[in-house]
Copies of this chain bind each other. A is one copy, B any other.
């Protein structure tokens, strides 16, 4: 009986016309999930997974406590989901850069600069990245393989000189994380860590380019060339909106 009514009433008029016709209900569901993810990011970026209670997350998300378990099995589960979201959108961005730009050295520089700029625009993203950057599995699943690939391309093209490629990747990974750490601390005007940060803060605006230039030097470019490549205009890349950013109104 129920089946026949469903059949008769399907495809109402005003729906297929314009929007992708996402059922109102599932959109709501997705939004609640994103609220939880964003709240978790905000809290865990500062205090780490262990330092945050599920209760805090639901309160920050302004959602009933039990609702949490409609979306995630545990604190580990939501943390894993965060890691996935962060790495996926990050990886997608770097892939876009690699597509758009010809010169391998410029691809590398743009990737570094993109990372640092984004860390400045979204400090929570940056803090979280630093926090999980040395966690388990990141070497295989994260950005290291991608970077290894990009560096190989550069070496093959005669653009980079690197005697020890794997170790170079390790070094670059750490250097970038270290710069992200510094950058987010500068952005926050963080308590402590004056003295030193003030040294770098000379032209804080330039830290992405400065970092890129230093690392291009590591890859064998000479000083002037490195400085030049690090300042080329960045390609504009269009990312699909992240689940982790505030929802645009409208």
Contacts and interface: CB of A to CB of B under 8 A. Distances in A.
A211 interface: yes
Nearest to A192: B137
A63 B245 CA distance: 47
Interface stretch (A7-15, A80-88, A93-101, A213-221): A213-221
A163 B223 contact: yes
B139 A214 contact: no
Contacts of A196: 139-140, 144-145, 148, 166
Given A137-B193, A200-B166, A214 B50 contact: no
Interface stretch (A18-26, A65-73, A169-177): A169-177
Interface residues of A, number: 56
Interface string A112-127: 0000000000000000
Nearest to A140: B195
A194 interface: yes
Interface of A: 47-48, 50-51, 130-131, 134, 136-140, 144-145, 148, 161, 163-164, 166-168, 170-179, 181-182, 185, 190-197, 199-200, 202, 207, 210-211, 213-215, 217-218, 220, 223, 227
